[in-house]
Structure 1
């Protein structure tokens, strides 16, 4: 199985709600036969149930677990619709359907349901005491799991839980894509060497989709083997239409097979968090913008989203956002793969929120606290882009806050939006 197929398989299995319940079916078939044979061999009388008592208990377990399955899937569909409508549809594939608690709980319900049906079917003139005991234990466990799932789902669908999970996923992607700490000298320039005009351009021949991931190791190996340079025209997360440029090949790389090159890319209908560090920013920002919309008008949720953006921006600022040039074992330039730079992350995190939230006191104070904190704690080469955003925020304050008292309040950095006077010294940093 090639890298691309393995990537798609792994991504599909991670986001498939049906997988664990389906695996529960063959496990139940094996467990039922083993336990019945073990029961006959041991001859236990744990519950001392008669045939009618065992049948009644098993019928009750079947009814309960079937109800749990129906309720779980029905309520899950409704919850997904509500959560995607109030926050963003992008949380469905990235967060909700990948939650292992929901999948494992549903698998437990399916296993218990089939186990009880199999046990009931095998009762003739004698009740199998060990089997009935385990069925009773599974039934009680299902009741406990169902109550836990209700509580867990109510907590999971809260904005702070969703935003926090997206933030954690974004930090993990950042560590994977940018594993090294920042070094000012290594990021001073990008594309030091101009490869010139490409000798050959490979176009995208499949259906129009989004690049989800790229196998950089294989691209470097191919370029090294051909003694040439491979340039990936789009970035991870870009939408690529049919016949659009996919690769630009230089020198010996012009002889490479197109199928080999295309096998290093994974496409899909929507972006994922696998190798796309800006997608976590995008999800959090979308939730914040939805919260700031007149229809919802929930600036406190937007403040919570800014908390996670501050974590993500700090992680980006502390990491080497590598140059576009990747070198082979011999030290020669082999692959050009463009990735977001620091200015891209700053504009993504702040520009839309500044435009949409500049009229809100909570938002401008929280944004100011985030920007000033990053200026104080990140390396010097990260500060110019942040100072620019702080200047733009000051202009927005002058534009929207007419009264001097409101303007002075809006110039205070506050990590809670409107919750404290942290950073009050900055309110007098410029004349009102």
Structure 2
């Protein structure tokens, strides 16, 4: 039973006539990641603003010594056009360097976050807007008519462009370091985590609520494969309430869903909702996003650490710095209420949506497993990893300590295998928050 031939509910029909939530989500993602939409808007605004300033230039708004001859105005505007083209090329060059850095020593997954940098888009929009403004004014210059106000404002626009370029360059040189990127990614992941947990806390069903196992089940399948990027919690709850059923999502955020697989199980309804409408509340794409997936931020942090540990880079200090931010991230996750399954309710408290969740063990394994495997021969990494795990022993609830103890046992086994000398083994088993340089003493 898939419900594909049944008539649409009236409210569902009205919503089906609108653009689906998943399409809107993908369009928003495309707009956020695009490097040409905002500059294109700047280009159009520059041309429009040029027409406006040329139209009011006869109002004698400028002092007499701020008037230009036709030759001078043409030279100034031509110089502005050339300068903006050169600056655009410079920013593109910086972008190429970022791509090389990210794919070589950081994580290719970070590129999805770098595309969204608002300052970068503002710089490009200012450059393209100034270019269009100056170029549009060039055709307004005549032997007996010069857009004096426009020429003056083009100089102001150039000054603003240079100021933004300096700010962008300062930010670029500071934020391209692995530790700075790890800090940005870690804070963004924590923000997503606590935003999501707060929303779940507000809509969570009473304890003991679950999908009725004896009720009929309808499977909503996907027609194409893709990574589960996000889902519309409010829309799914409204749809489930309208049809008096319970939706159960079958995959975690970030999972790849193969073509034809079940996206949603619909429990307890005689007339199932339209599968296309239900699937329209779930966004599938080519790669993971961070909007509803804090584990993706942790994935990037781990990528930075293990790339630093590769023989081609051999930079354990960077791995230790990444572990600092993983440590912070895990402590932040430790303050969240994690469950293997979340049951969300409608406005009347009835369970309507069941979504799978990641528990503490999942986050802990993601944060330390690969770093332990690839960094087991590094004294720095072993010491910093032990300090991280021992800190968690003192801060996490009792029900989470077994997973931490299991990771400590695995770390001990890795040290035993790779450090055969008793002295170096003892050094590797000493917790140290700096990797090397601040080993703990007994009683600390």
Give 2:390's match in structure 1, choosing from 367, 372, 380: 372
Q: Tell me: CA distance 1:43–1:233, structure 2 relative to 1, closer, same or farther (3 Å).
A: closer
Q: Tell me: CA distance 1:426–1:294, structure 2 relative to 1, closer, same or farther (3 Å).
A: farther
Residue in 1 aligned with 2:132?
A: 114
1:380 Cα deviation (Å)?
A: 2.5
Kept in 2: contact 1:180–1:319 (CA 8 A): no
Distance, in Å, in 1 between the alignment partners of 2:239 and 2:262 is 19
Kept in 1: contact 2:254–2:293 (CA 8 A): yes
Residue in 2 aligned with 1:10?
A: 28
Residue in 1 aligned with 2:401?
A: 383
Residue 143 of structure 1 pairs with residue 152 of structure 2: no
Residue in 1 aligned with 2:258?
A: 241
Residue in 2 aligned with 1:324?
A: 342
Kept in 2: contact 1:181–1:318 (CA 8 A): no
SS in 2 for 1:255: coil
Q: Tell me: CA distance 1:30–1:193, structure 2 relative to 1, closer, same or farther (3 Å).
A: closer
SS in 2 for 1:399: helix
Q: Which moved more, 1:409-418 or 1:322-331?
A: 322-331
Q: Tell me: CA distance 1:218–1:331, structure 2 relative to 1, closer, same or farther (3 Å).
A: same
Distance, in Å, in 1 between the alignment partners of 2:270 and 2:380 is 54
Residue 352 of structure 1 pairs with residue 370 of structure 2: yes
What is the aligned length? 419
SS in 2 for 1:266: strand
Residue in 2 aligned with 1:430?
A: none
Residue in 2 aligned with 1:273?
A: 290
Higher RCO, Cα 8 Å, sep 6+: 2
Unaligned ranges ≥5, structure 2: 1-18
Distance, in Å, in 1 between the alignment partners of 2:152 and 2:320 is 52
SS in 2 for 1:350: helix
SS in 2 for 1:316: helix
Question: 1:388-410, CA deviations, whole angstroms, 9 ceiling, x for partnerless residues?
Answer: 21222122222211122212211
Kept in 2: contact 1:226–1:256 (CA 8 A): yes
1:339 Cα deviation (Å)?
A: 1.0
Kept in 2: contact 1:204–1:240 (CA 8 A): no
SS in 1 for 2:56: helix
SS in 2 for 1:236: coil
Kept in 1: contact 2:220–2:275 (CA 8 A): no
Kept in 2: contact 1:227–1:253 (CA 8 A): no
Q: Tell me: CA distance 1:192–1:146, structure 2 relative to 1, closer, same or farther (3 Å).
A: closer
Give 2:213's match in structure 1, choosing from 192, 196, 200: 196
Question: 1:64-108, CA deviations, whole angstroms, 9 ceiling, x for partnerless residues?
Answer: 111111222233124313322221111111x21111111111111
Q: Tell me: CA distance 1:233–1:374, structure 2 relative to 1, closer, same or farther (3 Å).
A: same
SS in 1 for 2:198: coil
Give 2:274's match in structure 1, choosing from 231, 241, 257: 257
Distance, in Å, in 2 between the alignment partners of 1:197 and 1:298 is 56
Distance, in Å, in 1 between the alignment partners of 2:357 and 2:151 is 59
Residue in 2 aligned with 1:101?
A: 119
Kept in 1: contact 2:344–2:351 (CA 8 A): yes
SS in 2 for 1:275: coil
1:175 Cα deviation (Å)?
A: 1.0
Q: Which moved more, 1:264-273 or 1:300-309?
A: 300-309
Kept in 1: contact 2:182–2:325 (CA 8 A): yes
SS in 1 for 2:263: strand
Residue in 2 aligned with 1:210?
A: 227
Distance, in Å, in 2 between the alignment partners of 1:149 and 1:6 is 30
Residue 41 of structure 1 pairs with residue 47 of structure 2: no
1:325 Cα deviation (Å)?
A: 2.4
Kept in 2: contact 1:327–1:333 (CA 8 A): yes
**Counterparts of 1:51-90 in structure 2 under 5 Å?**
51-90=70-109
Question: 1:322-346, CA deviations, whole angstroms, 9 ceiling, x for partnerless residues?
Answer: 4432233444433221011111111
SS in 1 for 2:247: strand
Distance, in Å, in 1 between the alignment partners of 2:267 and 2:345 is 14
Distance, in Å, in 1 between the alignment partners of 2:399 and 2:31 is 41
Q: Which moved more, 1:70-79 or 1:105-114?
A: 70-79
Output the TM-score relative to the length of structure 2. Answer: 0.88
1:149 Cα deviation (Å)?
A: 3.1
1:181 Cα deviation (Å)?
A: 11
Question: 1:102-150, CA deviations, whole angstroms, 9 ceiling, x for partnerless residues?
Answer: 1111111111111111222211023322211111122233334334433
Kept in 2: contact 1:358–1:400 (CA 8 A): yes
Output the TM-score relative to the length of structure 1. Answer: 0.90
Distance, in Å, in 1 between the alignment partners of 2:443 and 2:371 is 21
